[in-house]
């Protein structure tokens, strides 16, 4: 005890200064107000098959990995993507990865959020999103049950949507100012069934009052999405799905994190 009393750790002004100036702990989307169901980022958890990716692990702890066991359909891991970080590149012909069931992982079919960071994409071939180009969707039934992607240049651009028997096709788009290939932090919010797409921090018009995901919105497909859309021709840096809707300030914090991490203007 005497030795302890005689040699306490000194707490100096310099120590305290150092503590105050220490960098904030890393942003962790698992600590936000809605449970994180899936979190795949291209600098973590990619199982390589040569230069292509056969498995993209979920960092949320829920095991919702993406995988592709056919070499010809595997995306490529490029080393110099957004923010100087790696990214998965999809070639627009047949690259795609399958994941868990979307409707199976959410607690409520009408309350969820998708966040996806993309760049270097090309326009789809149709003004309707569900016939254009998909970056993430569900393949249950072979046709659109949910989709995130981009229309043709003549359409409304980056957006997301769903189909169910009650509401039919409902799509929501971000602001239509993005140039082809622009880096984009896409946040698709389904809040009590109302769909809003935020692109780089700006929300588009809300499509109100859907009943949410159809029971057939099952297997997630990254790089395409369903039988009606063309494959993604571009890069994906990060993907998250939340079980519920974050508060506006949390969404903005998330967007700020991606802006800083990937150098995207939000």
Q: Which residues bind other proteins (CB under 8 A)?
A: 47-52, 54-55, 67, 69-74, 91, 93-94, 128, 130-131, 141, 143, 163, 165, 168-169, 214, 216, 227-228
Q: How far is the CB of 100 from other proteins (least distance, A)?
A: 16
**Given the complex with other proteins, which of 48 and 208 has the nearer CB atom?**
48
Q: What angle do CA 65, 257, 264 make, to 5 degrees?
A: 95
**Given the complex with other proteins, which of 44 and 48 has the nearer CB atom?**
48
What SS3 class is residue 77?
strand
Taking residue 160's Cβ as centre, other Cβ atoms within 10 Å add up to 29
**Cα–Cα dist 147/135, whole Å:** 8
**Given the complex with other proteins, which of 216 and 244 has the nearer CB atom?**
216
Tokens at residue 143, please?
A: 């046709």
Q: How far is the CB of 263 from other proteins (least distance, A)?
A: 27
**Given the complex with other proteins, which of 144 and 200 has the nearer CB atom?**
144
Q: How far is the CB of 61 from other proteins (least distance, A)?
A: 20
Please answer whether residues 227 and 102 qualify as being in contact, where contact means their C-beta atoms are separated by less than 8 angstroms: no
Q: How far is the CB of 111 from other proteins (least distance, A)?
A: 23
**Given the complex with other proteins, which of 138 and 200 has the nearer CB atom?**
138
Q: How far is the CB of 252 from other proteins (least distance, A)?
A: 34
**Cα–Cα dist 93/138, whole Å:** 18
**Given the complex with other proteins, which of 230 and 245 has the nearer CB atom?**
230
Q: How far is the CB of 81 from other proteins (least distance, A)?
A: 18
Instruction: Give long-range contacts, CB 8 A cutoff, 24+ apart: 199-203.
Output: 199/157, 199/158, 199/174, 199/175, 200/174, 200/255, 200/264, 200/265, 200/266, 201/252, 201/255, 201/259, 201/266, 202/174, 202/175, 203/174
For tokens 């240049």, the residue is 153
**Given the complex with other proteins, which of 29 and 216 has the nearer CB atom?**
216
Q: How far is the CB of 161 from other proteins (least distance, A)?
A: 11
**Cα–Cα dist 109/112, whole Å:** 7
What SS3 class is residue 258?
helix
The pair phi, psi for residue 21, each rounded to 5°, is: -90, -5
């Amino acid at each position: 005890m005497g030795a302890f009393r005689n040699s306490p750790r000194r707490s100096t002004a310099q120590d305290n200064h150092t503590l105050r100036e220490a960098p904030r702990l890393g942003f962790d989307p698992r600590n936000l107000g809605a449970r994180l169901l899936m979190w795949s980022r291209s600098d973590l958890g990619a199982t390589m098959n040569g230069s292509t990716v056969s498995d993209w692990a979920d960092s949320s702890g829920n095991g919702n990995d993406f995988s592709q066991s056919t070499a010809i359909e595997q995306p490529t891991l490029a080393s110099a993507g957004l923010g100087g970080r790696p990214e998965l590149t999809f070639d627009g012909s047949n690259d795609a990865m399958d994941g868990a069931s979307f409707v199976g992982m959410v607690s409520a079919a009408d309350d969820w959020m998708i966040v996806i960071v993309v760049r270097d994409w090309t326009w789809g071939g149709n003004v309707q999103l569900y016939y254009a180009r998909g970056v993430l969707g569900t393949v249950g039934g072979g046709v659109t049950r949910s989709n995130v992607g981009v229309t043709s240049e003549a359409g409304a651009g980056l957006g997301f949507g769903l189909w169910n028997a009650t509401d039919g096709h409902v799509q929501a788009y971000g602001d239509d100012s993005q140039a082809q290939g622009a880096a984009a932090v896409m946040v698709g919010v389904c809040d009590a069934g109302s769909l809003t797409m935020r692109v780089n921090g700006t929300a588009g018009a809300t499509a109100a009052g859907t009943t949410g995901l159809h029971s057939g919105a099952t297997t997630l497909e990254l790089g395409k999405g369903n039988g009606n859309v063309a494959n993604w021709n571009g890069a994906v840096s990060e993907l998250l799905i939340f079980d519920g809707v974050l508060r506006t300030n949390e969404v903005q914090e998330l967007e700020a994190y991606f802006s800083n991490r990937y150098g995207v203007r939000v």
